[in-house]
Amino acid sequence: MDGVPAEAGERFAAVPDAFQRLWTPHRLVYIEHGQQPHDDACPFCRAPELSDEESLIVARGEHAYVLLNLYPYNSGHLLVCPYRHIAQYDEATPEEVAEIGELTQTAMRVLRTAARCDGFNLGMNQGRIAGAGIAGHLHQHIVPRWALDANFFPIIAGTKAIPRLLGETRAEIASAWPSGARR
Ligand SMILES: [Zn+2]
């Protein structure tokens, strides 16, 4: 079907270390499963201090920014984070709420065009109990969905590899981002 950027999994299976290299270009340190970082080691506070390439940032706004999830549920899985280290959505200022919303809308348009996805899952997990991987710093998930990506639920359990280099995906999304919306 046209527009589904399916990667040939068998191509990657023949290169055993490809998945190791997936993560190595990026210095942004995420936590091990089930651990929470200390506030002074928050990856979402650290990311904006790095280059876009190192941090996987695709767009920077005034109050919030957009980056690729290092542990994507699907290729092109983005996170929108305020720069401020706040945990809960109701702690965000009106300006932060507005810009998180605007960046989310722009991300949807970009992914629809660049990744030609058929739908999205949008959402925020608030607190550890609700499944937030990094509970201390608010982040909105934008997960592109394709009609044939039935592997989505197994992915949550950590069983699906994303056969696509994150750096390549970042560059594609960043270049598709409308220039007026980038800083
Ligand atoms: Zn933070």
Per-residue pLDDT at 66 exceeds 70: yes
Model confidence at 83, pLDDT cuts 50, 70, 90, reads very high
Distance (angstroms) between ligand 1 centre and the Cα of 37 equals: 9
Residue 12 forms part of a structural domain:
no
**Residue 164, pLDDT score:** 57
Region 132-153: what's the mean pLDDT?
Answer: 80
Residue 161 forms part of a structural domain:
yes
Residue 126 forms part of a structural domain:
yes
Average pLDDT, the chain: 76
Model confidence at 128, pLDDT cuts 50, 70, 90, reads confident
Distance (angstroms) between ligand 1 centre and the Cα of 118 equals: 32
Out of 10-19, 36-45, 166-175, the most confident range is: 166-175
Distance (angstroms) between ligand 1 centre and the Cα of 53 equals: 19
Q: List, as residue ranges, the binding site.
A: 69, 141
* Active centre residues (catalytic): 139
Residue 2 forms part of a structural domain:
no
Q: Which residues pair with 65 in a beta bridge?
A: 60, 81
What's the domain count of the chain?
A: 1
Residue 71 forms part of a structural domain:
yes
Stated pTM of the model: 0.72
Distance (angstroms) between ligand 1 centre and the Cα of 139 equals: 10
Per-residue pLDDT at 152 exceeds 60: no
Residue 139 forms part of a structural domain:
yes
Per-residue pLDDT at 65 exceeds 70: yes
Q: List, as residue ranges, the binding site for substrate.
A: 69, 141
**Residue 180, pLDDT score:** 63
Residue 4 forms part of a structural domain:
no
Distance of alpha carbon 63 from alpha carbon 24, whole angstroms:
29
Per-residue pLDDT at 166 exceeds 70: yes
Residue 105 forms part of a structural domain:
yes
Range of the domain at 104: 17-181
CATH number of the domain to which 61 belongs: 3.30.428.10
Model confidence at 141, pLDDT cuts 50, 70, 90, reads very high
Model confidence at 165, pLDDT cuts 50, 70, 90, reads confident
